[in-house]
Amino acid sequence: MSDTHEAARAPETLAELFNQRANAGDVEGLVALYEPDAVLAAGRVVATGHAEIRSFYTDLLARKSDFPSPETLPPLRTGALAMTFARLPKNAFSVEVAREQPDGTWLWVIDQLKLAPPKD
């Protein structure tokens, strides 16, 4: 993790750090929330590894500048793994798998963003 970015000391802080960094336009800060070989799936896009995740967020931040705070649920934890959840505006949600790192910080390994169909 870069010395310039605060590390997540618990899996539930990853969403807060994401929101802060996305609203600040900090692509490198977003990438720093993921393990080097992490997988991010958002709609039809599947990004694997820091380079592809960086490309995804560079494109996303170029098109969108406001990221409202998500409603988060408590993570499910087992040992060094945790599943985190966030409900986003416009019927979207995300589910992530985070892993505790040897230094006690947490990074996402898998990130799935799903846009729900509109309600009738």
What counts of helices (H) and strands (E) characterise the chain? Answer: 3, 6
Where do the domains of the chain lie, and which CATH numbers do they carry? 11-115 (3.10.450.50)
Quick: pLDDT tens for 88-109: 877 788 999 999 999 999 999 9
- Model confidence pTM above 0.85: yes
Helix, strand, coil abundance in the chain, percent, nearest 5: 30, 40, 30
Quick: pLDDT tens for 17-57: 999 999 999 999 999 999 999 999 998 899 999 999 999 99
Give the pLDDT confidence score for residue 52 in this predicted structure. Answer: 98
